[in-house]
């Protein structure tokens, strides 16, 4: 598998004509402070075989010089695992949301000419350069209680068995790494940026920020996680809580069926299946609530 990938990269290299020693041109949308002005800056880094976008950013940090030779602050970015499982290096690479660690330079050059464009995600407030504040993403998971509640001071014993079929169904959903690609590509998930007012206490600001997040669309990732934990025999114990969250303001009803989420998900999670299942569960839940109360 690894060898195949390298061979592919070789072929792409030849197609793009980039060689060892040549320079790779990079255009980065930078921003110095939260809610500040953004501006473009160009960089050039020496090409190496099998580079990814992270290695480009590392080289830029090391040289800290723009294309025209000015000394500039290194570009800030987020990354961690470098193997597409932590979800922290999401950015807009050549206009499309993806993970910087698995975006190979050879392929980018082959698909989109001689310059690579990097922008921060557009649906989250920029902290600095390519670093964004993704607290709303995690607030979405919090809102739908995307966990198995196991509180207690004594051993609860083993949980109920999960059949192989159920495991197979649930596994893809469990690979979600909270990268936010589904949210970035979603036309219904629009940016919410709450700026602290003058003289506002930290607590008031937090409350206002959370309320603003909760009023807007919760997002495909949270819908899918709600379905994952509602299918789990122990997680199911608070299924009603999750359905309540999913049918509140900003819930499942905000989905516009553009289906970009499933198209851009780096883990290939069947997000539209989760959304349709959540739609079905919400239908049943709403009818039950109407007649059972």
Q: Which residues bind another protein (CB under 8 A)?
A: 95-96, 185, 187-188, 190, 207-208, 211-212, 215, 247-260, 263-264, 270, 272-273, 275-284, 286
Which residue's CB is nearer to another protein, number 45 or number 53? 53
Which residue's CB is nearer to another protein, number 80 or number 283? 283
Number of neighbours of residue 135 by Cβ within 10 angstroms: 15
Which residue's CB is nearer to another protein, number 177 or number 262? 262
> Min. distance of Cβ 227 from another protein in angstroms?
10
Which residue's CB is nearer to another protein, number 24 or number 264? 264
Query: Which ranges in the chain belong to alpha helices (H)?
Result: 2-16, 53-63, 105-112, 135-143, 164-174, 181-185, 202-215, 220-231, 239-246, 260-264, 271-292
Distance between CA atoms of 22 and 31, rounded to whole angstroms?
A: 28
Nearest to 46 by CA among 20, 78, 75: 20
Asked whether 236 and 170 are in contact (CB, 8 A), the reply is no
Which residue's CB is nearer to another protein, number 151 or number 198? 198
Which residue's CB is nearer to another protein, number 95 or number 152? 95
Residues paired with residue 29 on neighbouring β-strands, in sequence order: 40
> Min. distance of Cβ 205 from another protein in angstroms?
11
Q: Starting at the edge strand that comes first in sequence, how are the strands of the sheet with 96-99 ordered?
A: 38-46, 23-31, 115-119, 90-93, 96-99
Which residue's CB is nearer to another protein, number 18 or number 182? 182
> Min. distance of Cβ 213 from another protein in angstroms?
11
Q: Tokens 């007649």 map to which residue?
A: 291
Asked whether 182 and 115 are in contact (CB, 8 A), the reply is no
Distance between CA atoms of 59 and 126, rounded to whole angstroms?
A: 22
> Min. distance of Cβ 201 from another protein in angstroms?
14
Asked whether 233 and 159 are in contact (CB, 8 A), the reply is yes
> Min. distance of Cβ 9 from another protein in angstroms?
25
> Min. distance of Cβ 214 from another protein in angstroms?
9
> Min. distance of Cβ 11 from another protein in angstroms?
25
Distance between CA atoms of 90 and 178, rounded to whole angstroms?
A: 10
């Amino acid at each position: 598998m690894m060898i195949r990938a390298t061979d592919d990269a070789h072929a792409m290299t030849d197609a793009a004509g980039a060689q060892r020693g040549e320079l790779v041109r990079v255009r980065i949308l930078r921003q110095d402070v939260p809610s500040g002005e953004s501006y473009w800056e160009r960089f050039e880094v020496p090409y190496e075989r099998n580079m990814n976008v992270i290695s480009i950013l590392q080289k830029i940090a090391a040289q800290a010089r723009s294309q025209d030779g000015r000394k500039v602050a290194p570009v800030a970015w987020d990354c961690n695992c470098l193997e597409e499982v932590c979800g922290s290096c999401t950015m807009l690479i050549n206009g499309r949301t993806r993970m910087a660690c698995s975006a190979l330079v050879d392929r980018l050059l082959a698909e989109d000419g001689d310059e690579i464009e990097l922008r921060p995600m557009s649906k989250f407030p920029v902290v600095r350069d390519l670093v964004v504040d993704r607290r709303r993403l995690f607030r979405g998971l919090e809102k739908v209680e995307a966990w198995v509640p196991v509180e207690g001071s004594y051993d609860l014993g083993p949980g109920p068995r999960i059949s192989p079929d159920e495991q197979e169904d649930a596994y893809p959903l469990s690979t979600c790494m909270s990268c936010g690609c589904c949210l970035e590509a979603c036309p219904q998930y629009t940016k919410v940026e709450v700026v602290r007012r003058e003289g506002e206490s930290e607590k008031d600001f937090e409350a206002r920020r959370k309320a603003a997040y909760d009023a807007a669309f919760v997002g495909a990732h949270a819908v899918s996680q709600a379905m994952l934990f509602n299918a789990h025999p122990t997680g199911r114990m608070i299924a009603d809580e999750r359905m309540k969250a999913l049918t509140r303001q900003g819930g499942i009803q905000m989905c516009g069926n553009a289906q970009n989420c499933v198209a851009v998900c780096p883990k290939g999670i069947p997000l539209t299946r989760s959304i349709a299942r959540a739609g079905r569960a919400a239908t049943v839940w709403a009818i039950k609530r109407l007649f059972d109360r």
